[in-house]
Amino acid sequence: MSKTLVIFYSRKGANYVNGSIQNLSKGNTEIVAEYIARAVDADLFEVDTKNAYSTDYMTCTDEAKKELQADARPALVRYLEDISAYDNIVVAGPCWWGTYPMAIFSQLDRLDFTGKKVFPVMTHEGSGLAGAPAALKKHCKGASVGKGLAVHGGDALQSEKVVTGYAMENLK
């Protein structure tokens, strides 16, 4: 069986779910990442920023927009340096302004993806996979990009069946 790593970022706190702001103790993407890990016995690596984004939703959207416009690479608490043990790398994150949070790129840009297969997974409130596949093409040089999965953020908790099916089909 192939060995899979899930690199993910997920934000706890106030989030927009089906039209209203709710307080999430676990982020939507973290829930999905854990379902993938359970399905194919994958390892998890959480991208964690040194400066946390605001727990306030609107403030966070402003912070994220500024980082996107600046093509920023926010500093992380810890970095993964070596992915040589893995065949498949799932990159899971929330859709922020049509792509991954810049913190994901802080991590991806340090890794050697030669010969790996990468899979875009995104939780969202309507944009679907948006720019995720293109972002992986750009930031995971030397990797081939496999089938992606978009999960509506508000449905993350109920998505285990769909996520497990996707993982079993693509990550074995």
Ligand X SMILES: Cc1cc2nc3c(=O)[nH]c(=O)nc-3n(C[C@H](O)[C@H](O)[C@H](O)COP(=O)(O)O)c2cc1C
Contact set with ligand X (CB under 6 A): 10-11, 15-16, 24, 27-30, 57, 60-61, 64, 94-98, 123-127, 153
Q: Minimum distance from CB of 135 to ligand X (Å)?
A: 13
Q: Minimum distance from CB of 82 to ligand X (Å)?
A: 25
Q: Which residue is nearest to ligand X (CB)?
A: 153
Nearer to ligand X, 148 or 153 (CB): 153
Nearer to ligand X, 31 or 116 (CB): 31
Q: Minimum distance from CB of 5 to ligand X (Å)?
A: 18
Strand residues in 39-87 grouped as ranges (E): 43-46
CA distances from 19 to 36, 50, 153 (A): 27, 30, 12
- Structure token pair of residue 79: 């970095």
Half-sphere exposure (CA, 13 Å, Cβ side) for 125? 9
How far apart, in whole angstroms, are the C-alpha atoms of residue 105 and residue 61?
A: 18
**Per this entry, what is the length of the chain?**
172
User: By three-state DSSP, how is residue 162 classified?
Assistant: helix
Q: If phi over 0 gives left and psi between -120 and 50 gives alpha, with beta otherwise, what is residue 113?
A: alpha
Q: Minimum distance from CB of 23 to ligand X (Å)?
A: 11
Q: Minimum distance from CB of 49 to ligand X (Å)?
A: 12
Nearer to ligand X, 112 or 155 (CB): 155
Nearer to ligand X, 57 or 113 (CB): 57
* Residue 17 identity (one-letter amino acid): V
